[in-house]
């Protein structure tokens, strides 16, 4: 089967592409550009790269030609120039749906966020919800997977968290109340996406995908710190402090340690879908625990943040 993946060179897209290729499927990676963190996926014989920023329906239709399914994984967690939430999440999804219809694609799967919802005051959450609504109203067979915090090799969670722990002796929790998370291994998410794309599971459904363990954010950080041999001092800082920090980091870092959208996400906790949606069947429920071994498998090179992480040195 031929499957197109938007955001195909990003974190989830790469892992999904490798898994699909390993089972003999042909994969079309649709992305604005290549992600330098891992280009190995492009060396797989059944994987092809198609350059597109989701702005052209005819181009996307060409990329989707002869595809049986599209995994729409493209997304951003901060706005830069023309890459706004509306442009990427809303208009980009509208174009993906239109192109899928033109190309005769049989299935569209949208990777959304667990707490994406309307009229909540967050451009990220509201635009993700708008993308869901576009897919639900498309007339196509679809599945929407609302995922929580995802981790694994090449992610932002373990990558930036470990680099922060190597750089700073303290860790500031987001708000005075330690909010819970349920870390989701990318392998478990890929298993769900494959079942949806290849086997046609969960048709016309919106489902939540969460890891099997619920824990305070500080506990998750302590687990990562323990694996890399760090013992940071934990401080409780108000949410407004993190918003101010995020604004500064978005202005100065190529990939900010934390973005404004991520502050909102962490301040709410990431264990419950809003609005409420369906649950995964028992055989697709994530089972990979946030263990030391699993954390170690996903960790990047041990290093602190440096000049190369700054936008001025890009």
Residue with tokens 């934390």: 258
Say how far apart CA 192 and CA 208 lie, in whole Å.
11
Kindly state the tokens that stand for 138: 């498309």
Does position 38 have pLDDT exceeding 70, yes or no? no
Same domain, 122 and 255: no
Residues 210-219, mean pLDDT to the nearest whole number = 97
Give me the pLDDT at residue 313, please: 74
Same domain, 9 and 120: yes
Does position 257 have pLDDT exceeding 70, yes or no? yes
Q: Does residue 276 form part of some domain?
A: no
Question: How many other CB atoms are found less than 10 A from the CB of residue 247?
Answer: 14
Residues 157-167, mean pLDDT to the nearest whole number = 95
Q: Which pLDDT band, with edges at 50, 70 and 90, does 40 fall under? A: confident
Same domain, 19 and 41: yes
Residues paired with 31 in a beta bridge? 51
pTM over 0.75: yes
- Boundaries of domain holding 31: 2-152+181-209
Closest Cα partner for 166 from 257, 236, 90, 63? 257
Instruction: Check: CB of residue 194 under 8 Å from CB of residue 73.
Output: no
Closest Cα partner for 220 from 155, 173, 285? 173
Give the chain's domain count: 2
Closest Cα partner for 79 from 268, 256, 239? 256
Give me the pLDDT at residue 165, please: 96
Give me the pLDDT at residue 37, please: 59
Give me the pLDDT at residue 200, please: 96
Same domain, 81 and 223: no
Residues 214-227, mean pLDDT to the nearest whole number = 97
Does position 36 have pLDDT exceeding 60, yes or no? no
Please write the tens of the pLDDT for every residue from 258-278: 999 999 999 999 999 999 999
Same domain, 41 and 83: yes
Kindly state the tokens that stand for 307: 């000049």
Does position 72 have pLDDT exceeding 90, yes or no? yes
Same domain, 112 and 164: no
Give me the pLDDT at residue 34, please: 61
Coil vs helix vs strand at 60: helix
């Amino acid at each position: 089967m031929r499957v197109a993946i938007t955001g195909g060179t990003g974190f989830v897209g790469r892992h999904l592409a490798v898994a699909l290729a390993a089972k003999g499927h042909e994969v079309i990676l649709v992305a604005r550009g290549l992600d330098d963190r891992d280009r190995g996926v492009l060396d797989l014989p059944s994987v092809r790269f198609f350059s597109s920023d989701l702005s052209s329906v005819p181009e996307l239709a060409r990329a989707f030609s002869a595809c049986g399914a599209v995994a729409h994984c493209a997304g951003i967690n901060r706005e830069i120039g023309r890459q706004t939430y509306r442009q990427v999440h809303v208009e980009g999804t509208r174009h993906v749906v239109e192109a899928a219809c033109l190309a005769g694609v049989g299935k569209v799967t949208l990777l959304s966020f667990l707490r994406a919802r309307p009229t909540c005051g967050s451009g990220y959450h509201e635009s993700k919800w708008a993308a869901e609504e576009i897919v639900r109203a498309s007339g196509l067979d679809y599945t929407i997977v609302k995922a929580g915090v995802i981790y694994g090799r090449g992610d932002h969670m373990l990558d930036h968290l470990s680099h922060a722990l190597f750089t700073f002796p303290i860790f500031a929790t987001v708000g005075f109340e330690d909010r819970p998370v349920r870390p989701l291994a990318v392998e478990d998410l890929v298993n769900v996406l494959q079942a949806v794309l290849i086997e046609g599971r969960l048709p016309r459904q919106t489902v939540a995908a969460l890891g099997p363990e619920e824990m305070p954010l500080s506990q998750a950080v302590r687990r990562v710190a323990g694996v890399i041999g760090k013992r940071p001092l934990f401080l409780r800082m108000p949410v407004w402090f993190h918003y101010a920090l995020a604004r500064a980091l978005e202005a100065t870092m190529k990939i900010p340690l934390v973005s404004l959208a991520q502050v909102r996400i962490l301040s709410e906790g990431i264990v419950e879908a809003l609005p409420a949606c369906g649950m995964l069947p028992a055989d697709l429920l994530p089972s990979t625990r946030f263990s030391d071994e699993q954390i170690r498998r996903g960790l990047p090179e041990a290093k602190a943040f440096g000049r190369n992480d700054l936008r001025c040195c890009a």
